[in-house]
Structure 1
Amino acid sequence: MRLSVLDDTYYRDLLCEFGAMFAIANRIDTVHKLPWIGFQSWRAAGRKVSLSESAEETLEKTMAGENHEDVIYYWVPMDTDQTSNFWSTCDCLNAGHCRTLFEDAFRNMYGLPEGVAALPPMPNDGDYWSTLHSWVMPTPSFLKFIMFTRMFVDSLHSLNGNNTEPASCLLGASQPEKRHCYCRILEILVNIWAYHSGRKMVYLNPVTGESKEQHLREERNEMWVKFFDFTLLKSMDEDLAEEADDGMHPGTDQWLWPLTGQVFWPGIADREREEKYIKKLDKKLKSKVKLLERQKSGYKQKPLGQ
């Protein structure tokens, strides 16, 4: 199940928990066949916001009664007093460069020209945002989230010229923060994806299990739906897969995207079918040639029983 990129300490530190998520998504059919998937950071216990047994039972009952709609349940709030600006908080967590680098990565990912807004608006509406990778969502939604995240991380990494020196990290101030460069920005990425892709967002009190919908969908007035549309993201994913398959991407040796999961586009399946067909024809041709050689040499197999 483990991705080979995680054998490299640099990338393992760079991605933190997301390395494991990429690995799980890459083998989801064999390692996780349940309709829901969730995670809880070990740091949640340190902050005393890990799920209580009561909250776990409530969540399980809620999921059992759900129709698997696009919803995310989370219980570790990014801001406990619900007053901080989303991007300002992200800046505080990332040495003051969160929104700048996010905007650059987003622009690079979608090929947006300069002058076009590339920082998704996140409202300061008094509701909770999620952090610490402590959430539950339907498994199909998880795979869509991972598809988006792989492309975003790759775009973010390319801004640094795919540099593998922690000292070059702009998202950290201390050495530990630089070593775990992308970890803090990735912790809040699920909010941006869930909000702008129209997912229902529900905060779950980790002690009581009481839940309340956040950022009501009917009140989201500035959703960037077009950038988070699955059809668009799927086509972008396939374009990257084609580049990887054909070796067309510059700097392929240090290209992060192919290392974080499955590389697939329809052309791969077409080529595999063609190769299988060619092998089949080749086998038939060899059998025919062998038969002709036997006939020329006068060999003739006797009927069975004689």
Structure 2
Amino acid sequence: MIHITGILNVSLGECSLLQIEWIIFTIYLGLVFSRGVLLERWFQCATSPWRFKINKVSLSVKAEEALERTILAETEGDVIYYWARLALESRVTEGNNILTFWSICDILNGGHCRAAFEEAFRRMYGLPSHIEALPPMPEDGGHWSALHCWVMPTPSFMEFVMFSRIFVDSLDSLGNNLNKTTTCLLGLSELEKKHCYCRILELLVNVWAYHSARKMVYIDPHSGSLEEQHPIEERKGIMWTKYFNSTLLKSTDEDLAEAADDKDHPRERWLWPLTGEVHWQGIYEREREERYRQKMDKKLKTKDKLLRRQKHGYSQKTLGL
């Protein structure tokens, strides 16, 4: 057993490559805390207590009030606000190369982030080997989100979860080729390698938000000042919007749900059905047919009961003496 963030005990005996990471990820997604309109219209994720001190990334009262005022005032468009950022500034690698989004992702994931992400993305969309499958992330000096410290409109959040479920299933499928190895390629520390843990999901929201054309705004956790990052106008020609289209994601989600409902699993160890609810049009139709059948059965029983009364009259059981 391993105790994860003081919230959940998880048995690791039969966990797949990313089940532990997904469990932690969904714990964050379940920690909703906000006030008033935030609770109704926005979804806010919590922090990662085992990585950094919470007081370094939690919002001050001043920043929280500024965020709430901004959300109340700006009701148009999809915006993601975040207040914990990747520390890219003033850090260099061994060759004096300035860190980029993907290079720091490599550092956080045993040096294999880019390779794993690219292969998972390729499998996710069935891309041939000659097609580029690693979404470009610009080196424009802007901040990137870290530690799941962000807030976004609930519809956007639901779309992000849909994308995440599909991606993490594809990423998990890479582990089918690692069953005979003794080391998890995405682990950084010995503990992470032992339990095959990775931090790709921590950075996934950046890739999704950037390439799905969401406005990205960094809020200083102390002062509450807001600054847009990676302006959408500057992303034109860089974004891979066709892969992050909500219609495509919904279609893929429905295909996976149909396969799960039909017990047509693509592999023996399939993570996707374990990451959330399984719904597709066929389930709704089956449930509607079942309700209709129950309704007709009830009508038939009522009709039979009336016919018996008309034929034999109303009878009441004799009361006991």
- TM-score interval (norm. to shorter): 0.7 to 0.9
- Deviation (angstroms), 1:175: 2.6
Choose the corresponding residue for 1:283, options 276, 293, 298. 298
* Inter-partner Cα distance in structure 2 for 1:74 and 1:133: 8
- Deviation (angstroms), 1:97: 0.5
* Inter-partner Cα distance in structure 1 for 2:277 and 2:81: 27
* Inter-partner Cα distance in structure 2 for 1:162 and 1:37: 36
Evaluate the alpha carbon distance shift between residue 170 and residue 214 of structure 1 in structure 2; reply closer, same or farther with a 3 A threshold. same
Task: Name the stretch that deviates more: 74-83 or 106-115.
Answer: 74-83
Residue 9 of structure 1 aligns with an amino acid whose one-letter code is S
Secondary structure at the counterpart of residue 239 of structure 1: helix
5+ residue gaps in structure 1? 1-5, 26-31
Q: Show the counterpart of 2:59.
A: 51
Tell me, yes or no, if structure 1 residue 226 matches structure 2 residue 228.
no
More helix by share: 1
Contact 2:31 2:45 in 1 (8 A): no
* Inter-partner Cα distance in structure 2 for 1:34 and 1:17: 24
Contact 1:13 1:179 in 2 (8 A): no
Identity value in percent: 56
- Deviation (angstroms), 1:186: 0.6
Tell me, yes or no, if structure 1 residue 155 matches structure 2 residue 179.
no
Contact 2:211 2:241 in 1 (8 A): yes
Secondary structure at the counterpart of residue 113 of structure 1: coil
- Deviation (angstroms), 1:289: 4.4
1:113-146 CA-partner distances (Å, limit 9, x unpaired): 1111111010111111111111111111111101
* Inter-partner Cα distance in structure 2 for 1:261 and 1:237: 11
Residue 296 of structure 2 aligns with an amino acid whose one-letter code is L
Residue 129 of structure 1 aligns with an amino acid whose one-letter code is W
Task: Name the stretch that deviates more: 6-15 or 36-45.
Answer: 6-15
Evaluate the alpha carbon distance shift between residue 224 and residue 86 of structure 1 in structure 2; reply closer, same or farther with a 3 A threshold. same
Contact 1:15 1:180 in 2 (8 A): no
Residue 61 of structure 1 aligns with an amino acid whose one-letter code is R
Q: Show the counterpart of 2:314.
A: 301
* Inter-partner Cα distance in structure 2 for 1:204 and 1:33: 19
Q: Show the counterpart of 1:75.
A: 83
Tell me, yes or no, if structure 1 residue 272 matches structure 2 residue 279.
no
CA RMSD of aligned residues (A): 2.7
- Deviation (angstroms), 1:85: 1.2
Contact 1:78 1:131 in 2 (8 A): yes
Contact 1:162 1:255 in 2 (8 A): no
Tell me, yes or no, if structure 1 residue 61 matches structure 2 residue 61.
no
Contact 1:76 1:130 in 2 (8 A): yes
Contact 1:87 1:99 in 2 (8 A): yes
- Deviation (angstroms), 1:56: 1.5
Task: Name the stretch that deviates more: 9-18 or 92-101.
Answer: 9-18
Secondary structure at the counterpart of residue 188 of structure 1: helix
Secondary structure at the counterpart of residue 63 of structure 1: helix
Evaluate the alpha carbon distance shift between residue 279 and residue 168 of structure 1 in structure 2; reply closer, same or farther with a 3 A threshold. farther
* Inter-partner Cα distance in structure 2 for 1:194 and 1:250: 29
* Inter-partner Cα distance in structure 2 for 1:166 and 1:8: 23
1:144-180 CA-partner distances (Å, limit 9, x unpaired): 1011001111111111129789955210143322256
- Deviation (angstroms), 1:285: 3.1
Secondary structure at the counterpart of residue 192 of structure 1: helix
- After TM superposition, the score normalised by the length of structure 2 is 0.81
Tell me, yes or no, if structure 1 residue 243 matches structure 2 residue 259.
yes
Choose the corresponding residue for 2:278, options 241, 259, 263. 263
* Inter-partner Cα distance in structure 2 for 1:66 and 1:181: 41
1:47-97 CA-partner distances (Å, limit 9, x unpaired): 723322221221121112120521111111112417521111111111110
**Paired positions, count:** 288
* Inter-partner Cα distance in structure 1 for 2:197 and 2:107: 14
Larger RCO (CA within 8 A; separation ≥ 6)? 1
Q: Show the counterpart of 2:93.
A: none
Structure 1 runs of 4+ off > 6 angstroms? 162-166
5+ residue gaps in structure 2? 1-7, 33-37, 91-97, 316-321
* Inter-partner Cα distance in structure 1 for 2:258 and 2:119: 24
**1:137-176 residue pairs with structure 2 within 5 A?**
137-161=152-176, 167-176=182-191
Evaluate the alpha carbon distance shift between residue 166 and residue 55 of structure 1 in structure 2; reply closer, same or farther with a 3 A threshold. farther
Contact 1:68 1:138 in 2 (8 A): no
Residue 119 of structure 1 aligns with an amino acid whose one-letter code is L
